[in-house]
Structure 1
Amino acid sequence: MPRPTSPSIPEKEFLVSAIQQSLRLDGRPLTTLREPQLIFGSELGWVECVMGKTRVLAAIDAKMVKPAADRPYEGMINIHSEISPMASSEYEQGRTSDEEVTITRMLDKVLRRSDALDKESLCVVAGQRVWSLRLTIQFLSDGGNMLDCACLAGIVALRHFRKPEVDVEGEEVTIHSPESRAPLPLAIHHTPICFTFALFSFPTTQTGSTAAPLISTLPSGSFSTHQTYALLDPDLLEETLAHGTLSIALNAQSELCVLQKMGGVPLDQAKVVRLVELAVEKAKELEIFIERSLKEDWAGRGLEVI
């Protein structure tokens, strides 16, 4: 039996009408994030991130392996993610969706290729033994913008995790249990955070004189113009109906890691810079939130705050 069309025409019309009045269905301003929540598990490196109705679980485990032949002084980090029917009935078990491919590639760019983690610090014996980290991302519920939620869960999991301390005597490597010696935190260079904007473009004849914080008037043909609205951290309906998206990954030090634009909504350089500046402000706020959350959890475990 075919699934009913979603979203419906009334939903589309209502959302468009709200956006044209600079309103969102959940009451947020256009440039406001859903308030994130971080839930830490009993094990280090286990973090659940909640943003609205979106829930993502990130977990890290480590094992000792032989390094790659071309990188004998570096450890490894592998990222595995899968969107199962648990997140939404739109996804099928064993069938990779386009959204899953996009999210997985973006996670790899943000968390691994941005060099957030010092891979050389994972080396135990050069050319013989290094730590291999596996970051597993599980999508528990799709309430929109799973990418940003997964990136936040992933980087917090890396900062929360601690690897066992080891002793090296000649070629013998001894791994100490957490009970005998306190585990050590990973060497994190910086904390990249991803921010996604849903882009909507409407002809000015439809929007009238309505003004919004992030609107640009762009030429479209010879006789009309379009106004573009950028909604930070879109929910599921906004994400589904968006004409395009812009994802910006950066840290609180204003260092840009990844910029990815999808869809056909045009944005000139000035508009992109404006969105990047907004993302920097949000990154600084989230950095403070992450630091506070980690300190509270470590204090509850009796661990030293690094």
Structure 2
Amino acid sequence: MPRAVDISNVEKNFILEALTSSHLRLDGRPLDQFRDTNLSFGAQLGSVTVSIGKTRVNVQISAEVTKPSEERKFDGIFTITTELSPIASPAFEIGRPNEQEVILSRILEKAIRRSRAIDTESLCIVAGQKCWSVRADVHVLDFDGGLIDACCLATMAALYHFRRPDVSVDGERVTIHTMAERVPVPLSILHSPVCITFSFFGDGTVTVLDATVKEEQVRDAELIVTANDFEVCQVAKHGGKPIDPGLTVKCLQVAVTKAREINKFIRLKLAEDASARGVQELTAENDRGEPPVG
């Protein structure tokens, strides 16, 4: 992982001794507790800022009409781009992707796009001719550990919050309606994956949730579990130290429980934002004679 300033041996030994001997963390949290998490929405639909402790991430969703790929003529396009700039940490450099950015991009790609969290078929307008291209731009504003968890949470919240313009098709004529003409349409989301990162210390004898950047610098290994409300979607391990299979199973069980809590938190914040905006879900059929997307 990137290291803006290498941690000193004295501080490293202190953190490891506190964790392995007394199960104590520098910020006083229990080993299985997340830092204070906050989620706020921007004025524009699809704009979300998430903070976990001092780590802060902004995600902006955008959509445009384009031509689908030749291989998937009945699907729309969904992409995720990440930006780790020096504003978040001196360890990040513009134009020079480091190991952390590569891992972040791969995990988000697998956790959200490849797990088919979004129904890309619903983004198709005219097969082989026009479709929606939805893009999630992930910007890291402050970095203090727990980056993957924060980015995944922010991306899913932004996807739920986003609304695309409604479209009508008459033969080969495609009309994109403004918000004044028709109520914009939410994305069709099939499930809600979130990432939970476990850090291991003392040859796997101590397991920590939501490690800070200093804890990440001294850990032996990490296990990133992607889960939704019902099941585990993917597992990724980094670091050379092996993890006991029994401990891995326990981590998977904890991840599913934490995923339910996080998704409940996202739904609560979305409901609060909808209430503040005075948004009401459609209950009648729209002008196309189809049930509303919800």
Per-residue deviation, 1:35: 2.4
Provide the rounded CA distance (Å) in 2 between the counterparts of 1:119 and 1:296. Answer: 27
CA contact (8 A) 1:57 1:139 kept: yes
Per-residue deviation, 1:300: 1.2
Provide the rounded CA distance (Å) in 2 between the counterparts of 1:165 and 1:302. Answer: 19
CA contact (8 A) 1:200 1:265 kept: no
- The equivalent of 1:288 in structure 2 is 264
- The equivalent of 2:220 in structure 1 is 243
Gaps of 5+ in 1: 203-226
Q: Which runs of 4+ in 1 moved over 6 A?
A: none
Provide the rounded CA distance (Å) in 2 between the counterparts of 1:138 and 1:231. Answer: 26
- The equivalent of 2:15 in structure 1 is 15
Per-residue deviation, 1:58: 0.5
Of 208, 215, 229, which residue of structure 2 is paired with 1:231?
208
The answer as to 2:136 corresponding to 1:135 is yes
Gaps of 5+ in 2: 282-293
Provide the rounded CA distance (Å) in 2 between the counterparts of 1:266 and 1:250. Answer: 22
How large is the RMSD of aligned CA atoms in angstroms? 1.4
Per-residue deviation, 1:133: 0.5
Corresponding residue SS for 1:147: helix
CA contact (8 A) 1:200 1:230 kept: yes
Per-residue deviation, 1:265: 2.0
Task: State the identity as a percent.
Answer: 43
Corresponding residue SS for 2:207: strand
- The equivalent of 1:110 in structure 2 is 111
1:73-113 CA-partner distances (Å, limit 9, x unpaired): 10010111121101101112211111110111111011100
CA contact (8 A) 1:245 1:263 kept: yes
Whichever residue aligns with residue 15 of structure 2, its letter is L
Taking structure 2 as the reference length, the TM-score comes to 0.92
Provide the rounded CA distance (Å) in 2 between the counterparts of 1:101 and 1:4. Answer: 17
- The equivalent of 1:207 in structure 2 is none
Provide the rounded CA distance (Å) in 1 between the counterparts of 2:240 and 2:98. Answer: 21
Whichever residue aligns with residue 69 of structure 1, its letter is E
Of 250, 275, 278, which residue of structure 2 is paired with 1:299?
275
Over 3 Å counting, the alpha-carbon distance change for 1:51 and 1:4 in structure 2 is closer
Taking structure 1 as the reference length, the TM-score comes to 0.88
The answer as to 2:63 corresponding to 1:62 is yes
Corresponding residue SS for 1:177: coil
**Size of the alignment, in residue pairs?**
279
Per-residue deviation, 1:256: 1.5
1:171-221 CA-partner distances (Å, limit 9, x unpaired): 11111111221101111000000000111125xxxxxxxxxxxxxxxxxxx
Corresponding residue SS for 2:267: helix
- The equivalent of 2:167 in structure 1 is 166
Provide the rounded CA distance (Å) in 2 between the counterparts of 1:271 and 1:27. Answer: 24
